[in-house]
Amino acid sequence: MYGPLNLSPDKLAHEAMTMQRKLAAGLTTLRNLDDVHYGATDKEAVYSDGKLVLYRFRSDKAPTAKVPLLISYALVNRPYMVDLQADRSIVKHLLELGEDIYIIDWGYPDLSDRYLDLSDYIERFLGGCVDFLRKKHGLDAINLLGICQGGAFSLCYAALHPDKIRNLITMVTPVDFHTADNMLSHWTRGMDVDAFVNALGNVPAEMMNYCYLTLKPFRLNVQKYVGMTDILDDKLALEDFLRMEKWIFDSPDQAGEAFRQFITKFYQKNGFVEGGLTIGDKPVSLKNVRMPILNVFAEQDHLVPPSASRPLRNLAGTKDYSELSFKGGHIGIYVSSRAQREVPSAIHNWLAQRSR
Amino acid sequence: MSTFDQGWSQDFEALSRQYWNAWSEMARQAGSGQQQQVPGWQEAMDMWAPWARDGRAQTDDTISRMNAQTGAWFGQMQELAKRFSGGQSNASDITSEWKKALGIEGGAFSNPFESMFQQMSGHGANGMDQWMKQAAPWMDAMRGEFGGMFNMPAFGLQREQQEHWQALGKSQMEYQKAMSGYNAQLMECGKRAFAKFEDKLAERSEPGRQLDSTRALFDLWIDAAEEAWAEVAMTPEFRTAYGDLVNAQSRMRAGVQGEVERTTGMFGMPTRTEVNSSHKKVTQLERDLRELKQRLAVLEAAANTKAPASSKAAASQPAPAARKPVAKPTKPTPAPRRAKK
């Protein structure tokens, strides 16, 4: 007859002492940490509008790609996740492969931005960047890479202006917001988002973070920090950990009107799937997205489950649709070593095949 | 060796001696039925955390989160493991002891999820009930003064004021009711978590699958708790409770803001509503200006196409004012707030 535990005082004492030694080592490690920097690749600002800044990444070698690739990240986190550090940067790898990369930094909205709506973000900001790049490069259309919420924005823009987007890449992008495994969507559907935004104005970043952390509360709030003990004697691992912590909690507030519209039109009304979606006064139909699409999603994504991304295949009007199913999660798709090996080369090869 | 090193080193050595002595004594007394008190994770964290903070936000915020969330949970799990070290155990007994460790006695059911969420709210995150706690003294004062008037008909000089207070009081009661409903869902999560924990422990009751460390036991509890949460959080009942709570808090926030505005308005201070109104106008004016500039650009382009390029008359006219784009293909203004690159 066996029980589930095979514990002895010696084992427990040894374990306790091991953790104690890790804590002790951690004090020295923490004191010797360099200031944690993020954003590995040099970049220059080339365009701005309000709080938005468009950056072009610099590379030692000139890009071989003739068409620039514009990255549109989500509003809810900072875009440096795609270039977090030298050994975790899909931007760096794309540059090495010859791509010409631009990225939108949406900035940190304050209360003066409360009435910016989705039309402002998609037509004015994203559209302004697209038009700037078209003019700068003398092209009718550019390549667009939309990530997460930025992917939903990119789909809207591509549907409204299909002639301006040559190739579209969507990464961890929600399309069907009402799949059975989408916890975030499930929660928002009981919300009176009008009352919510009216009371809050802009939605505080801390509230957004709280919501994300409660998707996996015990793992993200308890287990993760117990696990941190394991790396307290490893300076580089600890710096990586703190860099990720910085990114997780470095979140902009959300402009109230844009938030209201995004929740209503997408999370509650599931506009891409159910139809009736408008940006400003213009109807948006994914059937108008006729350019080639590469849809990249993460198999263990708890924020945007693959089931939320996959429906793009049947909803988009394109005849050239490809998928990349990545073995990892919503964050791992940018920063894991597997991501560094697989994602940039997949994007580059897919674009290269369509540049001939 | 620095003062810091000397201080920590001495404290650590002292704690280490306590560790060895206490754990050795516990090992010696194993099977005697006596419980030996030993310093554990919580004590270690309490001593470690103040030394670990170095005044840099990148470190201190993380240490605070680590201390707040792991101290109690892992420390209690260490106590549980100690209780079952060296002896026979079964899944039911371990789960029962774990419930006791979390404060569940005599059939009463506390709520591990609720306490954890409160901890989250206290450290950088902003939960739904944090604002309620901040506003509590103000709300309590209001309730004390007007508590008996919530349902009384309002009339006379103070009619409007009384109705505002009545609405606010009711919104507070609705919020408390919604919070109770939400906590009931958290409680359901807790119940399922304990049941799953027991099942998972039972699955480990065979050679080669037994748990041999506090950490393994802790991770098993985390798995059970997460599975329970994933189940309950996806139910229609949870969605309703979550929505009710958010909506009740929104109404109450709006009510409090209204009262603050009425009070500050008496002293001629600008209100949130007035500032919002200005922001709304500026945003719309910006949109209108942008649209007008775009139209003007189209008209100018059309006029330039139609007008003969060699027209002397046209050439003698002053050039239209150069259009200043709102967006600038130039070096941007300084980096946005907090955008340190």
Would the pLDDT of B332 be above 60?
A: no
C-alpha to C-alpha distance for A327 and A341, rounded to whole angstroms: 12
Section B295-314 average pLDDT: 77
What's residue B105's pLDDT? 59
Beta carbons within 10 angstroms of residue B174's beta carbon: 16
Q: Is A163 exposed, middle or buried (0-12, 13-18, 19+ CB in 10 A)?
A: exposed
Which residue is listed with tokens 């260490």? B78
Give the residue numbers spanning the domain of A338. 43-203+253-353
CA B150 to chain centre: 32
Whether A271 is in a domain gets the answer: yes
What's residue B122's pLDDT? 45
C-alpha to C-alpha distance for A343 and B326, rounded to whole angstroms: 36
The yes-or-no answer on residue A156 being catalytic is: no
Whether A105 is in a domain gets the answer: yes
Q: For A187-205, how does the pLDDT look when each residue is reduced to its tens digit (9 = 90+)?
A: 999 999 999 999 999 999 9
Cβ(A58)–Cβ(A51) below 8 Å: no
Q: For B234-259, how does the pLDDT look when each residue is reduced to its tens digit (9 = 90+)?
A: 999 999 999 999 999 999 999 999 98
Longest dimension (CA), chain A: 78
What's residue B70's pLDDT? 80
Section A153-174 average pLDDT: 98
Contacts of A85 in chain B (CB under 8 A): none
B131 touches A at CB < 8 Å: no
A67-71, B68-72, B266-270: least confident range: B68-72
Question: Looking at the DSSP assignment, which residues form a beta bridge with residue A55?
Answer: A45, A103
Beta carbons within 10 angstroms of residue B228's beta carbon: 22
Whether A98 is in a domain gets the answer: yes
In the structure encoding, which two tokens stand for residue B52, read together?
Answer: 């670990």
Whether A23 is in a domain gets the answer: no
CA B22 to chain centre: 38
Of A8, A112, A189, the CB nearest to B279: A112
Amino acid (1-letter code) at residue A253: D
| Interface contact B338-A120, CB threshold 8 A | no
C-alpha to C-alpha distance for B65 and B315, rounded to whole angstroms: 70
Section A246-262 average pLDDT: 96
What's residue A14's pLDDT? 85
- Those residues whose C-beta lies under 8 Å from the C-beta of residue B75, and which sit 6 or more positions away, are B40, B41, B42, B43, B45
In the structure encoding, which two tokens stand for residue A16, read together?
Answer: 């306790």
| Interface contact A10-B27, CB threshold 8 A | yes
Whether A5 is in a domain gets the answer: no
pLDDT band at B340 (very low <50, low <70, confident <90, very high): very low
In the structure encoding, which two tokens stand for residue B5, read together?
Answer: 């090193």
For residue B161, give the H/E element and its range. helix B159-203
- Those residues whose C-beta lies under 8 Å from the C-beta of residue A324, and which sit 6 or more positions away, are A294, A295, A296, A297, A342, A343, A346
pLDDT band at B335 (very low <50, low <70, confident <90, very high): very low
In the structure encoding, which two tokens stand for residue B221, read together?
Answer: 């509890």
Q: At A189, which CATH number?
A: 3.40.50.1820
B37 touches A at CB < 8 Å: no
Beta carbons within 10 angstroms of residue A34's beta carbon: 7
Handedness of CA B40, B45, B50, B54 (dihedral sign): positive
Of B23, B219, B284, the CB nearest to A13: B23
Q: For A24-44, how does the pLDDT look when each residue is reduced to its tens digit (9 = 90+)?
A: 899 889 888 888 888 899 999
**Most confidently modeled of A289-303, B263-277, B320-334?**
A289-303
pLDDT band at B339 (very low <50, low <70, confident <90, very high): very low
A189 touches B at CB < 8 Å: yes
C-alpha to C-alpha distance for A57 and A159, rounded to whole angstroms: 27
Chain B: residue whose CA lies nearest to A120 = B287
Chain B: residue whose CA lies nearest to A26 = B52
Kindly provide the ipTM of the predicted complex, given to two decimals. 0.92
Degrees, nearest 5: CA angle B48-B53-B59: 120
Q: With CA atoms as reference, report the closest residue to B22 among B44, B47, B46, B4.
A: B44
Contacts of A198 in chain B (CB under 8 A): 250, 254
Amino acid (1-letter code) at residue A115: Y
C-alpha to C-alpha distance for B98 and B212, rounded to whole angstroms: 17
What's residue A120's pLDDT? 98
Degrees, nearest 5: CA angle B316-B321-B326: 160
Which residue is listed with tokens 């206290």? B122
Degrees, nearest 5: CA angle A77-A83-A84: 75
Chain A closest-CA separation from residue B88 CA (Å): 6
CA A45 to chain centre: 21
Contacts of A78 in chain B (CB under 8 A): 339
Longest dimension (CA), chain B: 113
Which residue is listed with tokens 């505080």? A204
In the structure encoding, which two tokens stand for residue A38, read together?
Answer: 């993020």
> What rounded mean pLDDT belongs to chain A?
95
Q: Is B316 exposed, middle or buried (0-12, 13-18, 19+ CB in 10 A)?
A: exposed
In the structure encoding, which two tokens stand for residue B323, read together?
Answer: 């259009």
What's residue B324's pLDDT? 46
Which one is catalytic: A129, A148, A156, A211?
A: A148
Chain B: residue whose CA lies nearest to A128 = B327
What's residue A232's pLDDT? 94
> What rounded mean pLDDT belongs to chain B?
79
Please count the structural domains in chain A: 1
Whether A31 is in a domain gets the answer: no
In DSSP notation, B178-230 reads HHHHHHHHHHHHHHHHHHHHHHHHHHT-STTT-B-SHHHHHHHHHHHHHHHHH
Cβ(A48)–Cβ(B332) below 8 Å: yes
pLDDT band at B341 (very low <50, low <70, confident <90, very high): very low
Q: For B8-52, how does the pLDDT look when each residue is reduced to its tens digit (9 = 90+)?
A: 667 766 766 776 677 667 666 665 656 566 677 887 888 888 888
Chain B closest-CA separation from residue A48 CA (Å): 5
Q: With CA atoms as reference, report the closest residue to B12 among A225, A48, A27.
A: A27
The DSSP call for residue A281 is: T
C-alpha to C-alpha distance for A164 and A140, rounded to whole angstroms: 6
R_g (Cα) of chain A, nearest Å = 22
Which ranges constitute the DSSP H helices of chain A?
A: 9-32, 90-96, 118-119, 127-137, 149-160, 183-188, 193-200, 205-213, 217-218, 224-227, 235-249, 256-262, 271-274, 306-309, 312-315, 332-335, 337-353
Whether A247 is in a domain gets the answer: no
CA A184 to chain centre: 15
Whether A331 is in a domain gets the answer: yes
Handedness of CA B271, B276, B282, B285 (dihedral sign): negative
Q: For B89-139, how does the pLDDT look when each residue is reduced to its tens digit (9 = 90+)?
A: 899 999 999 998 887 755 555 676 777 777 665 443 444 456 666 666 666
| Interface contact A219-B243, CB threshold 8 A | no
C-alpha to C-alpha distance for A181 and A328, rounded to whole angstroms: 17
Question: Looking at the DSSP assignment, which residues form a beta bridge with residue A49?
Answer: A52
Q: Which phi and psi (to 5°) does residue B113 adopt?
A: -65, -45
